[in-house]
Each structure stands twice: as structure tokens, then as C-alpha cells.
Structure 1
Amino acid sequence: MNKTDNDSLIEIEIKGVPDPHRAKNLVNTTGALAFWETYELAEIFQYLDQANKALIPLYKDSIQIPEKKDTNKNEADPVSELGYEKNSQPDPEFISQNPLFSCLYPNVAQREDGQAYPQQGAVVGLVNISDTAKINTMLNLKEVKMLFPRDLFFMWTIKAVDEEGKYLQLVAVRQSSRDGMPPMSGAYIVNAKAEKGMSGNNEILMEMNSEGAHIWKRLTSNNIGKALAIAIDNNVYAAPMVQAAIDGGKSLISGNFTAEEAADMAIIIKNGALPLHTCIIQVEVSNNK
């Protein structure tokens, strides 16, 4: 990062990113990197069910029944393809009795006897991007918030999970500290790089300083079998499951990343995000490596 002849402009060089669009997205990523503990869906599903019931009288006069689609059309349903439960046709009675679950498709599966059960992990469910504001409003109503544990709050994933780019995941995050700060920030990260895992998947190798290694060991020890959410600006970039306590200050983050996404995430983790909002004036691609 260098100052130009114009004191109001800053020149930023991002090595290894030849695509101007990617460079702009990285520079415009503002806010602090944070590692959050999470709730399992199974731990909070009862509260979501209570919230759904509490919303019925509040939304009974404002619920709109979507137009039925032509079932003869052989169109792929991204919700079903991703393993989420959804009625193929909008049922007016179901929608009127389920203000929350008619927009939020819970991350549940069905047993052979037809009983639904929550999937493992912190993903609450799937929401159409056009409905995220509505879900935010519902979850922040005082009649709903009073039903939840005080340390529970929600974040959206940064990218859509379906090929058409229509659906985001809602993640259940736990605010475990009294001051509301995450248990670990990006200040302890000294290096991060993208690499190929043994199975050929894209991973990020993250290295911490000695203080960060101590915090990370304690954090992973307390969350074995649960997810830790990696977030910037309250958007979740990944929520990997903790397989075991991690000692030594090195950790692998695996997920459904493309090579480009893994490389960009490594840059953000290593360098942090800019602590200010920026306005991109010009982007140039340099041949310097």
C-alpha cells in the first residue's frame, strides 16, 4: 500500500490476483476478520419452532400466497437439489401457519419413518436472497428475540450455495464473551496460503503467532465436533467443523472452495481487510510478480 502524488489517493498492490474484478472485490472487503463459536441447529431448533408460532398472529394479515408454478415444467429445484425440505407447491394453509418456515427452509433430513431431524452443523437453513430482509426483520422482533438464548445471533453466508446464485445459508453464531467480541480475531494470523489437499480439494493453511496458537488450541478444544464460523462484516466465509484440538499454531480450513475462492480467502486472512470504506478510481493489471 503506497501513497501517490495525490495525498487523498492510496495505491494498493495485490500480488497473485490478475483479474481486476477480483482485485476490486478484495479491496472493497472491509471490516475485521473474526472467528466465532456456533450453535448446532439441533440445539436451537426448538427456539426457531417457538419463533415460527409467535410470528403467526403478527403476520396473519400480511402473508402473501405466491403464485403456483406449472408442475408440468421439468425445472430443477435448487432447494431440493441441495438437500433441503420444501413443498413442491405453495400451500396457503402451510404458509399462513408457518411465517418463518415458509421462507426459511430448515437444514433438516428425514428418517425412514418420515420424521425430520436437524442436520449436523451451524447452518440453520436456506433462504432465497429476496427473502433475507424479511427473515432479518422476523428474527429481530422483540417478540422473537426474547425466545432465543441471549448469546445467539445469526449471520448470512457471503456467497450463494446454488449454481443460480439465488439462495444463501443462515448460520447460528454464539456470542460467548461478555464484551460481545469474537473469541479470536485476525490480529493473530501471521500467514495464510491456498493449497491442494490430499484428496485434491482446495484448502487454506493458516498460521498464527504464539498467542494466537494458544487461543486457537483452547477454542478448538472446546468445540470438537462443532463448527467455527470465519466471518468478515458479519458475513460467513466458511464454517468448518472442528475435528480435534489444534496445537502448534497451524490449521487447515477445508470447504467447498474453488481454487480462486481459496486463494482470495487466504489473501483476506493473511492481510486482513481495509479498516475503511474505499472508492475504486482505477484498476491496472501489472505483470510484476
Structure 2
Amino acid sequence: MKQKNAIILLTVMLILLSIYRLSFTLTDRAIQQSATEYATDKRGIVNLDKKQKYLDSLWNKPVYNVLVAEYTYKEVKEMSLSLGLDLQGGMHVTLEVSPVEIIKALANNSRDAKFQQALTLAQKRQATSQASFVSLFGAAYAEVAPGEKLSKIFTNTTTRGKIDLKSTDTQILDIINQEMEDAFDRSFNIIRTRIDKFGVSNPTIQKLPGTNRILVELPGVDNPKRVRKLLSGVAKLEFWEVWETQDLIPYYQEFAAYLEREESKNQAKTGKKPSKGDGGLVAKSDSNAQKGKDPLVADEEDTSAIARLDTASKKTDTLRKDKPKADSLKKDTTDAAGNLAAQLMQPSYEGFVVRTRDTARVNELLSRSEVQRLFPSNLRFMWDVKGNEAAGNITLYAIKTGRGGKAPLSGEVVIEARNDFDENNRPSVSMQMNATGARGWRKLTAENVGKRIAIALDNYVYSAPRVNGEIPNGSSVITGNFTVNEAKDLANVLKAGKLPAPVRVVEEATVGPSLGKESIQQGLNSMLLGLGLVIVFMILYYRSSGVVANIALS
């Protein structure tokens, strides 16, 4: 009897667990259906951009409750069944990192006729050869310029310290190969970051061995134009000044007062008070969350610092004013600004800390023209590229824009970046700029001693180190609580300005949902046929016992 009860209990638990897991898939499909209905006009035409904005607005908002647990749309997507391209449709894209552009950049865009001829010849041969493009280029140059060395083409400011007139062709080709691999890894990471912000459930992103191509599969995606734009853009590296949080408190207080007024209006209309911890304000139904904005990303604290390399001539320690305790800043700003603003955007020394679940709401608020007028005209908000998943919050950086909204320094001035170790044997990143960059970097660091400078790629902040002192020669070291891999990733990000690696779509296929429905139906038919054959076999072989077994099976 006890054994029977245990079997019944186990069966019930398995059924409940199955229902629980399937409920996420049903919720996901219901939201997708709502998005489609929302984006469908009177003529029955679906506006894909409008549909995507609707889904983006829900990405970090709670959409499903199980008892006391709340799940955002992102979590629902992650826990729903993954059908894959063959079942639910989507996009299959093959991307190629352009080796030609990288070689041109290393050659400082040389106009040498034989160099250009060798590139053209290598491109033609690549179509019918399995060899790497660098090998084909080396052979092509030796053919069109017999007896001439590659060093005369590749000895320039871009390759200073790596290639000189004494370098052999073999050494130069090895260096080009290494730079090509770094550019490929950088492009792969950038594409992966972009897709993570795209909001696709269970995407497939993989390098194709032996090639400079990347395979991307995006199940459920139905907007090819947006995907092409997202994947093929060239990454843009920029250096930005960062507002000090204390300087923004008066504007933050005006923002808090605005939230209080809006909440009073909402309460007057609905007669309801906001539940504790909900931030007090609901995003508009038409959701401008993604209009003209970047997708929202997460953050973790970055305590890195920029230091000089020329320590022999100047002191390494820099005097700076002691910061007040973080608790006092939190208390002062919360008391001054009110609970609604503090629940949504908690001031910190890095910027504003936002709960992950509130990012869509904050994004919608900051996109409102009346809110933008509350802050300085030269302020632009950017999210950090990483998230503190354990704490469940992200940091919003307050970026100080220059004339015309441009960054004071762009990534093209970076000529070298590498991961290293500092004097305390901690992972660090060394960065070297050209003469133009060194002048701009000297001015930028001199004006921001004790303040942060944000390093942003694709409008996401990868690091925001604090300046210890003026850096006169363009040589900098970024230190902090890095792991070796994080230092390597940051060095690779800094190289995005030095060697832009355009990515182009070489193959694209859109799989329609009809293929998925057909595959599902074929699977069901196969299952029913197999089950039927088992039932028939049981009856024919075991006769009455087989009938009993079939009844028990049903």
C-alpha cells in the first residue's frame, strides 16, 4: 500500500512539474499573440517594428506569477520550450569578417599599386581555395612584386613596435594572422552582445572552424531587416566624460517631483495606490522604450583606474578629495528625492542603480520629452554592458556629451591595446594612442582628474575608470578588479577603434512557420503510427494479456 501511495505521489509530482514547465511556453505564446494583435492594423498587416517594440517593453517586466514568484518576459522566454529553426521558423545567417579591411588598416590604407593588385588577386583566388586569406595575400604579393618585401607596406604608425623595415615577410604574415584572429574574436563577441540585447530565445552563435565566418541562428525572428542592421554594423568605440552623481542631484530631484505628480494623476484616475516596491509608475501602453534608444543591458561595479606609464619622471600617487561614504549619499539623495525615484533609479557613485525588472520602465520614462527637459541638454544615458545578476540590478551611466552630442575622443586614435599585469601582479590593460589621440587624451584626462571616463562600444559602457592624473603621452594603464579574461576582453574592445572589422552577411535564409507546422505534424503522425504498431503487436503476440497491457498503457 505504501509503495502504491509513493508511486501515485511521484506521478502527481511529475504531472505538476510538467504543467509548471509548459506554462512558460503557453505564457510566451500568449504574449507573442498579444504583440501580433497590437501591431496589426485594420487591413490585417503586421507592423514588425511595432511588434518588436511591444515585446522589448516587456523584456524586463514581470509578466507571469507562480505563487509568490514573479518572472519577467526574459525569464519566461528562457524557460519556455525551444523549438529551434526547423519547428518555429526564424533566420539563419552566415556572417563574414572582412579580412581585406583589416589588412588595409594594418597597411595604413596604402595606395601602393602592387599592394592593391595583390589584394584583388587574393580575393579572386579565395573563391576557389581552402587556404586562409592571409596566405593567399602573401603568395599574391610575392607574385606581383617579386623580390620586394612586405615591410615597406606595413611599416607605419599603426604597426609601430611590431613591424619595422627589418621584419621578414614570414614574420609580417604571422602578425597579420594574429591581428586577424583578434579581430575575428572581437567581432564574435560584439555580435554575441548585440544578439543578447535583441531578445531572442536560445540563439545559436558559433565560429565556423578554418574560416573567418560566424553562423547565427535566431529562432522565432520575423524581422529580417532589423536583424541585418543589427548584425552588420561596424562597432564604434568612443571615450566619454561622465557626470558626477552629486552634480545631478538637483535635476534628479526635479525628476522625482515629476514622478510624484504623475503618480498623483494615476491615483486620481484609478483610485489605486501602487504596491510596495513597484516603482510607482507604469509605462505607457504604446511603449517608447526602444524608440531611438539602445536596448537595456546590465551592469556590475567597475573600480578600475587610469594611471601613467611614465612613472619615472612623475609620482604615481595622485592627491584627490576623499569621497563621502556611500551610505550617506544614498540617504541624502533618497530623503531629498522621494521614494518613487529612489525605487526606480538609486543614485550611486557610478551613476544610477536600477533593478533589472525596472529597466523597461526607466527607459520609457527617460524617452519622454518632458523628462528629457528636466536634465541638462549635454547629458546622455548609457547602460553598462554587463549585469550584476546576483544583485538583480544594473547601473545607468550619466554621460556628458560634447559639442553636437559627439564624444570628445573616438577609438580611431588607439594604436595598441593589450592585457598585462600591474606592479602588484593584478590583471590590467595597457593602451597606446597616436599623436593626435595623445593630445586629445592629455586634454581630456587633465580636465577629469578624479573623475570617470567611460569607454563605450556600440553605445554600451564596457569600463568607466577613474583618472588619477593628467596623461601627457597617450600611454595609459587601466587597472581594477579584473580577471585575466576580463582584461583580455577589454583590450580587445579597445582594439575595435584601431582595427575596425566590418561584418557582412554572405548567406541568409528565412525559415517560415509553415515548415515548423509541417515538421510538428509529421512528428505527431510518426508518434501515432509507432504507438499504433506497438498496440497491434501487443494484441497479436500476447492476445488477452496484450489487451490488458494496452488498456493500462492508455
Secondary structure of 1:101's match?
helix
Q: Which one of the candidate residues 424, 437, 440 is aligned to 1:215? A: 440
- Is 1:127 matched up with 2:360? no
Relative contact order, CA 8 A, sep 6+: which one is greater?
A: 1
What's the TM-score once normalised by structure 2's chain length? 0.38
Amino acid at match of 1:101: A
Deviation string 1:108-153 (CA, Å, 9 cap, x unpaired) is: xxxxxxxxxxx4xxx2221122211211122222222112111011
Percent of aligned pairs with the same residue? 31
Deviation string 1:33-68 (CA, Å, 9 cap, x unpaired) is: 000011100000121111011122224428742589
Counterpart of 1:186 in structure 2 is 411
Contact map agreement 1:28 1:277 (CA 8 A) in 2: no
Between structure 1 and structure 2, the one with the greater Rg is 2
Secondary structure of 1:102's match?
helix
Q: Which one of the candidate residues 395, 402, 427 is aligned to 1:176? A: 402
Deviates more, 1:55-64 or 1:216-225: 55-64
Counterpart of 1:99 in structure 2 is 340
Counterpart of 2:26 in structure 1 is none
Amino acid at match of 1:14: E
What RMSD, in angstroms, separates the aligned Cα atoms of the two structures? 3.4
Contact map agreement 1:84 1:126 (CA 8 A) in 2: no
Structure (1 or 2) with the greater helix fraction? 2
Displacement after TM superposition at 1:254 (Å): 2.1
Q: Which one of the candidate residues 362, 372, 392 is aligned to 1:145? A: 372
CA distance 1:133–1:191, shift in 2 (3 Å): same
Matches of 2:367 and 2:426 in 1, distance apart? 38
Counterpart of 1:5 in structure 2 is 127
Counterpart of 1:115 in structure 2 is none
Contact map agreement 2:241 2:401 (CA 8 A) in 1: yes
CA distance 1:138–1:163, shift in 2 (3 Å): closer
Segments of 5+ residues of structure 1 without an aligned counterpart are 69-78, 86-93, 108-118, 282-289
Deviation string 1:212-263 (CA, Å, 9 cap, x unpaired) is: 1111001111111111111012111111111111011201122332211110
Displacement after TM superposition at 1:210 (Å): 0.7
- Is 1:25 matched up with 2:25? no
Deviation string 1:149-187 (CA, Å, 9 cap, x unpaired) is: 110111111101x3527321111110122x221000000
Displacement after TM superposition at 1:99 (Å): 3.0
Counterpart of 1:72 in structure 2 is none
What's the TM-score once normalised by structure 1's chain length? 0.71
Counterpart of 2:454 in structure 1 is 229
Secondary structure of 1:44's match?
helix
Counterpart of 2:430 in structure 1 is 205
Amino acid at match of 2:408: P
Matches of 2:277 and 2:452 in 1, distance apart? 38
Displacement after TM superposition at 1:278 (Å): 6.1
Matches of 2:506 and 2:463 in 1, distance apart? 27
Structure (1 or 2) with the greater strand fraction? 1
Counterpart of 1:116 in structure 2 is none
- Is 1:265 matched up with 2:387? no
CA distance 1:220–1:196, shift in 2 (3 Å): same
Contact map agreement 1:34 1:186 (CA 8 A) in 2: yes
Tell me how many residue pairs correspond in the alignment: 236
CA distance 1:102–1:242, shift in 2 (3 Å): same
CA distance 1:126–1:67, shift in 2 (3 Å): closer
CA distance 1:271–1:280, shift in 2 (3 Å): farther
